[in-house]
Amino acid sequence: MRPTMTELAKPRPLPAGLGRLVGAFRCSVAGLRHAARNEAAFRQELIASALLLVPALLLPVARLERLVLILSMLLVMVVELLNSAIEATVDRIGTERHPLSGLAKDLGSAAVAVALLMSIACWIVIAGPTLVDTLAGAAG
């Protein structure tokens, strides 16, 4: 059964040691689950990353380049999660329109756009030449 918003708002006692790590991991999983179920942009980025993971693993590129391709996709998802956290915090404070609330949301959205551009640039620089060579070889 899913917890209610009131239950989610209750402070939890902080365990120590390994219990703290387990608790942090559970919170992380809950956050990822929430984002996957309730955040359309995160779902789109998750699907795109899953689809791009196959070519990232199969492209004949160096290990470091493969890592850059994969990490660039993960960066987009990390920034999207932070953007969602900013939006949730702003909405928690109040739903009325305020210039600073709008600015916070716009800046979070801009951060996602920059991360997407970075990822696209990585894919163009690393995967682009390989794909061009592959297509040229198939055509000739």
Domains of the chain and any CATH numbers:
40-139 (1.10.287.3610)
Q: Report which of 69, 71, 39 is spatially closest to residue 56, judged by C-alpha positions.
A: 69
**Overall size of the chain counted in residues:** 140
Answer yes or no: is pLDDT of 44 > 70.
yes
Alpha helices in 39-98 (DSSP H): 40-58, 63-93
Answer yes or no: is pLDDT of 28 > 90.
yes
Q: 63-108: per-residue pLDDT in tens?
A: 999 999 999 999 999 999 999 999 999 999 988 899 999 999 999 9
Answer yes or no: is pLDDT of 31 > 90.
yes
Answer yes or no: is pLDDT of 11 > 80.
no
Answer yes or no: is pLDDT of 6 > 70.
no
Answer yes or no: is pLDDT of 122 > 90.
yes
Answer yes or no: is pLDDT of 134 > 80.
no
* Residue bearing the bigger pLDDT, 34 or 7: 34
- Taking the C-alpha atoms of residue 44 and residue 79, their distance in angstroms, rounded to an integer, is 14
How many CA atoms does the CB half-sphere of 44 hold within 13 Å?
6
Phi, psi values for residue 51, rounded to 5°? -70, -35
80 is catalytic: yes
Marked catalytic residue, from 39, 65, 80, 87: 80
* Residue bearing the bigger pLDDT, 34 or 136: 34
- Residue 2 DSSP symbol: P
How many CA atoms does the CB half-sphere of 61 hold within 13 Å?
24
